[in-house]
Amino acid sequence: MNTPPAVSAGDLEELRRLDTCSVSNAIETFQLRLRNTGYTDARIHCMFEDFAPMVGYAATARMRSGDPPITGRIYHERSDWWQSILAVPQPRIVVLEDVDEPPGRGAFLGDMHAAILRALGCIGYVTNGAVRDLPGVCELGLQVFAGNVAVSHAYAHIFDFGNTVSVGGVTIAPGELVHGDRHGLLTVPREVVSEIPPVAIRLEQNEQKVIGFCRSPQFSVQGLSDLIKELF
């Protein structure tokens, strides 16, 4: 598994101060990808909406839960996978693709695995499948994005890791930079990381000018049209 070099701690901190919508708005201005790509769709839900935005590097894997693994290693000890997570720079975000159809029959992540991931330097967990034990996971401070909640882990087992995965309509490679909050999750192009915060702040300031004008006694459709043309 070859992962790109980490970005600076300062750049990560600047991204962490922005919500995901602001990051998305800024990325769009660079025209590096289509505006309907690079983020998760409505199949993925933020479990802890009160958590601050998270940003980190993807540690990818794939799982199944509908059938027992061929090798007999169902659920607990996976030191090979844990070592692969440690190969990704901190802060780490596990991105786990559930390949069952439909996904989410069993939950790999509960409070025990959340504790393991936190010990491995992970700040978040993303899956198109299920999670469980939400109060315990929340107490551990691990942000979670998932397709659903389930009562059982069923036959949940990792069968592949360190390769590109797909969750909620977005493709994520190992080591890719990921940003998420209550609004959703998106990938962040490394080549514009340092440029995103100032652009996001400028766009937010422009939006606030429009909001302020809409609330003012001077509001008019013509004035609004002129302001939009000036700012955007």
pLDDT one-digit tens code per residue, 160-216: 999 999 999 999 999 999 999 999 999 999 999 999 999 999 999 999 999 999 999
In the chain, where are the structural domains located?
9-190, 197-231
pLDDT one-digit tens code per residue, 90-107: 999 999 999 999 999 999
Question: Is residue 201 helix, strand or coil?
Answer: helix
At what angle are helices 196-215 and 20-29 packed, to 10 degrees? 110
CB atoms within 10 A of CB 129: 26
pLDDT one-digit tens code per residue, 128-175: 999 999 999 999 999 999 999 999 999 999 999 999 999 999 999 999
Is pLDDT above 70 for 76?
A: no
pLDDT one-digit tens code per residue, 15-38: 999 999 999 999 999 999 999 999
At what angle are helices 221-231 and 196-215 packed, to 10 degrees? 170
pTM: 0.93
Is pLDDT above 60 for 74?
A: no
Topology given in CATH for the domain delimited by 9-190: Glucose Oxidase; domain 1 (3.50.30)
Q: Tell me the residue length of the chain.
A: 232
Peptide bond into 102 cis (omega under 30): yes
Q: What is the distance between the alpha carbons of residues 129 and 19, in angstroms, rounded to a whole number?
A: 24
CB atoms within 10 A of CB 228: 13
